[in-house]
Structure 1
């Protein structure tokens, strides 16, 4: 027991029947797999804190390509990368939230997957912020609460 065979990853060890790396037992599940899976299925409630987190994560991970306003004119694009579709494109305005979550998770076109970089909770926060960006470009006066309409009309004078 004091001296056990040791091997480097991917090397062979005849004492262990071949490979030094042992496969995990069948049915093994990663420690946080169940919680991560639940988080991908459960869309959180829309709150100011969720939008703030979404804006923060969007500015870190998404704005280099999509730009801070979601128009698809980020710094990377200005340096020659493909131009992503604006979030104000009619196709994306009609897309459901799950579409955006799946694109962040799996990637799409030139965009690679962010599943390992952005947690499921943060992906939902980014989706909420994308919706806020879309709404900011397509809001009507009828969407404004009555108590705020008076301020808008007053500011126009």
Structure 2
């Protein structure tokens, strides 16, 4: 009798080993849950910040100081992410235009020259018109670098010889 009870207990314990997490009772992510009076997905408590969001928020709201390294990084990121549509000079004549996609606005348009830096940062972050968001592809520091490079492109197009420092003008005006 004891031997039969032990055999049955052993068989039942082995049967429990076969179950996995797919069989257990649970809620699907988007299903309704009577316990929570609504969706299973819960909103985070008030005033909580995700682990990396504070650094990202700080980088998104703090514009870095202009430097040669920042412009170089902006040129690199612009060449990778922006030039296929906007072109190398920011005229809106990138390779996608030649393949039938919509023609993006030139960065040398008066409206975009008058726009503030935050506008460009927001467009890179959220997208605009046919342009999709680059927030997942370009970190905030690189977005500011691209904005600085766009400003350099705009300045270079409208620059005159008087904008060049006097000691460097002779290099530009000399005949090769």
Pairwise TM-score range, normalised by the shorter structure? 0.7 to 0.9
Following the alignment from structure 2 to structure 1, what is the Cα–Cα distance between the partners of residues 155 and 72? 16
Please, which of 77, 80, 90 is the counterpart of residue 70 of structure 1?
90
Pairing 1:10–2:29 present? yes
Following the alignment from structure 2 to structure 1, what is the Cα–Cα distance between the partners of residues 129 and 44? 36
Does the Cα contact within 8 Å between 2:30 and 2:41 map onto a contact in 1?
no
Name the residue aligned to 2:136: 116
Which sections of structure 2, spanning at least 5 residues, go unmatched? 1-16
Name the residue aligned to 1:141: 161
Which sections of structure 1, spanning at least 5 residues, go unmatched? none
Pairing 1:31–2:58 present? no
Name the residue aligned to 1:98: 118
Pairing 1:46–2:66 present? yes
* Cα offsets for 1:134-155 (capped at 9, x unmatched): 112111111101110121122x
Deviation at 1:22, TM superposition (A): 6.2
RMSD, aligned α-carbons? 2.7
Following the alignment from structure 1 to structure 2, what is the Cα–Cα distance between the partners of residues 54 and 6? 51
Structure 1 residue runs of 4+, over 3 Å off?
Answer: 2-12, 21-25
Q: Which moved more, 1:100-109 or 1:22-31?
A: 22-31
Q: Which secondary structure state, in structure 2, belongs to the residue aligned with residue 56 of structure 1?
A: helix
Please, which of 107, 110, 126 is the counterpart of residue 87 of structure 1?
107
Deviation at 1:30, TM superposition (A): 1.4
Which structure has the greater CA radius of gyration? 2
Deviation at 1:25, TM superposition (A): 4.6
Deviation at 1:7, TM superposition (A): 5.9
TM-score of the superposed pair, with normalisation by structure 2: 0.75
Following the alignment from structure 2 to structure 1, what is the Cα–Cα distance between the partners of residues 173 and 120? 35
Please, which of 57, 66, 73 is the counterpart of residue 77 of structure 2?
57
1:141/1:82 Cα in 2 relative to 1: closer, same or farther (>3 Å)? same
Following the alignment from structure 1 to structure 2, what is the Cα–Cα distance between the partners of residues 130 and 94? 13
Following the alignment from structure 2 to structure 1, what is the Cα–Cα distance between the partners of residues 72 and 119? 21
